[in-house]
């Protein structure tokens, strides 16, 4: 009897051992699958997140409309609030006209030309304005067109002829004007940008009416979302007056003359247009055969200024691409405005920051995820502030401070945050919660599957042990 009991116990142990091995194998397989799911989370989000954002905001697009690059940044300091492929090279197409306008307005500020100056198109200019393959506004040779009217034509309907006229007003040598564009790009830190022409259309598309010798006749301009952000922020800060034109859905040019005509803005996100988004005051669109549809929007509302860039939407042949770029841009703005909020860390004046008396010339305003607090650190004569995704300038967000003596009287303002070190546990907790929220349903199926396996195993082992004791 005793031997039989020992035999049954031994058999039970062997059986449990075999079952245990199988369960361990199953758990290992489930664990590896779960790790695979976690490992692909960032990739899945990178590929699908923008489509989900657009859908969640009530717009309909297809996966083929996914932009090649997108970027939303704070105009104030270049904080990145959304980014996908910000350094991918694309053809900006007519977004290039913004650099031409930048150079024209610099010349106006320097007193070299004025908005009231008259420009007279030649027969060649008139011929360019009649090329149907290019975006244009008809011009008449021999008629005087004020610079201001040409600017409107270049910015709203993206007239190539008007842009060429403006570029030649600054420098009538086409190659030298393109040199100015590339020089300006270098000054702005646009390290991945190269201009070949003044308008964004390749020179050979002008049917011999616009040529360059030292630059390419058939290669498009090249840039990135990051570089465009650097350019547009600088343009807007230097010449914000251009938005008095770009905020309009339509404008009348050459009013009071026989050549008056109404021009239409290609930006469908401005007020009064089909996809109007409250707060959009510009700025420009562009379309190319190589990279499809591009859009840059400037958002200004309730003290918030954001730059919205969407590049490479849809295919050149897609009739919907013209509108889908705005659906995506609008959706990204809505998403960012829901996720982030502007926060004033310090007002100008003398403040005590991390035990040091310092003077700030300007208010320190940054964006933070809603419900969170920005962290910062004093290093020498700089206040460094942590940002959600860095800045377009690829450096820390830094504000200059002047050291003040301990007896200096503080400005009547209190800190709204604590030192970075005091917020580390909260930051870790917030990041952990944020990560958990992003885990897909499949992960939780695996997780609770493993929990269930261990629970069943535990019950089985307990029952088996009791059965052996009875024997």
Token pair for 397: 């967000």
Annotated binding-site ranges for substrate: 284
DSSP at 95: G
Q: Where are the domains of the chain?
A: 50-340, 343-403
Model pLDDT for residues 168-227, shown as the tens digit of each residue: 999 999 999 999 999 999 999 999 999 999 999 999 999 999 999 999 999 999 999 999
Task: Please give the positions annotated as active site.
Answer: 94, 97, 158
Write out residues in the chain with pLDDT < 50, as ranges. Answer: 7, 35-48, 413-431, 433-434
Q: What is the pLDDT of residue 461?
A: 62
Q: Which CATH number fits domain 343-403: 2.30.140, 1.10.155, 1.20.81, 2.60.120?
A: 2.30.140
CATH number of 50-340: 3.40.710.10
Number of Cβ within a 10 Å radius of residue 172: 9
Q: How many CB atoms lie within 10 A of CB 309?
A: 28
Give per-residue pLDDT as tens, 22-76.
656 655 555 555 544 444 343 333 334 899 999 999 999 999 999 999 999 999 9
Residue 22: the pLDDT is 61
DSSP letter at 63 equals: G
Q: What is the pLDDT of residue 396?
A: 87
Give the pLDDT of residue 87. Answer: 98
Q: How far is Cα 412 from Cα 175, in angstroms, rounded to an integer?
A: 56
Please report the DSSP string for 172-229 in residue order.
S-HHHHHHHHHHHHHHTT-TT-B-SSSSSS-GGGGTTSS--SSS-SSPPPBB-HHHHH
């Amino acid at each position: 009897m005793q031997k039989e009991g020992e035999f049954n116990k031994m058999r039970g142990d062997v059986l449990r051992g075999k079952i245990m091995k199988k369960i361990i194998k199953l758990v290992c397989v489930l664990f590896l699958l779960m790790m695979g799911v976690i490992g692909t989370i960032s990739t899945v989000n990178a590929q699908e997140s923008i489509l989900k954002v657009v859908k969640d905001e009530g717009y309909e697009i297809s996966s083929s409309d996914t932009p090649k690059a997108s970027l939303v940044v704070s105009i104030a300091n270049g904080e990145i609030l959304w980014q996908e492929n910000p350094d991918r090279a694309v053809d900006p197409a007519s977004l290039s006209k913004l650099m031409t306008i930048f150079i024209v307005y610099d010349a106006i500020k320097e007193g070299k030309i004025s908005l009231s100056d008259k420009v007279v198109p030649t027969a060649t200019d008139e011929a360019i304005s009649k090329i149907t393959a290019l975006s244009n506004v008809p011009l008449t040779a021999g008629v005087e067109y004020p610079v201001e009217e040409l600017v409107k034509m270049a910015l709203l309907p993206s007239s190539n002829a008007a842009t060429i006229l403006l570029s030649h007003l600054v420098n009538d040598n086409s190659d030298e004007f393109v040199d100015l564009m590339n020089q300006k790009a270098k000054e702005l830190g646009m390290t991945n940008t190269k201009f070949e022409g003044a308008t964004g259309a390749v020179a050979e598309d002008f049917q011999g009416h616009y040529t360059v010798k030292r630059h390419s006749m058939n290669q498009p301009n090249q840039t990135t979302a990051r570089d465009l952000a650097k350019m547009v922020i600088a343009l807007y800060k230097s010449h914000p007056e251009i938005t008095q034109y770009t905020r309009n859905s339509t404008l009348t040019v050459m009013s009071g003359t026989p050549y008056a005509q109404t021009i239409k803005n290609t930006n469908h996100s401005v007020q009064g247009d089909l996809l109007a988004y409250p707060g959009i005051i510009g700025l420009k669109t562009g379309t190319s055969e190589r990279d499809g549809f591009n859009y840059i929007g400037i958002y200004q509302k309730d003290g918030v200024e954001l730059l919205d860039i969407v590049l490479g939407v849809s295919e050149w042949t897609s009739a919907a691409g013209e509108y889908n770029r705005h659906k995506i841009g609008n959706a990204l703005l809505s998403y960012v405005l829901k996720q982030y909020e502007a926060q004033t860390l310090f007002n100008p004046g003398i403040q005590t920051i991390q035990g040091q008396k310092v003077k700030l010339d300007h208010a320190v305003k940054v964006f933070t995820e809603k419900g969170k607090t920005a962290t910062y650190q004093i290093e020498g004569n700089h206040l460094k502030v942590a940002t959600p995704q860095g800045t377009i300038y690829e450096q820390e967000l830094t504000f200059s401070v002047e050291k003040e003596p301990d007896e200096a009287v503080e400005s009547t303002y209190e800190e709204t945050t604590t030192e970075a070190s005091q917020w580390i546990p909260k930051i870790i907790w917030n990041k952990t919660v944020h990560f958990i929220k992003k885990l897909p349903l499949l992960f939780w199926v695996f997780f609770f599957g493993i929990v269930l396996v261990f629970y069943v195993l535990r019950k089985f082992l307990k029952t088996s042990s009791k059965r052996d004791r009875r024997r």
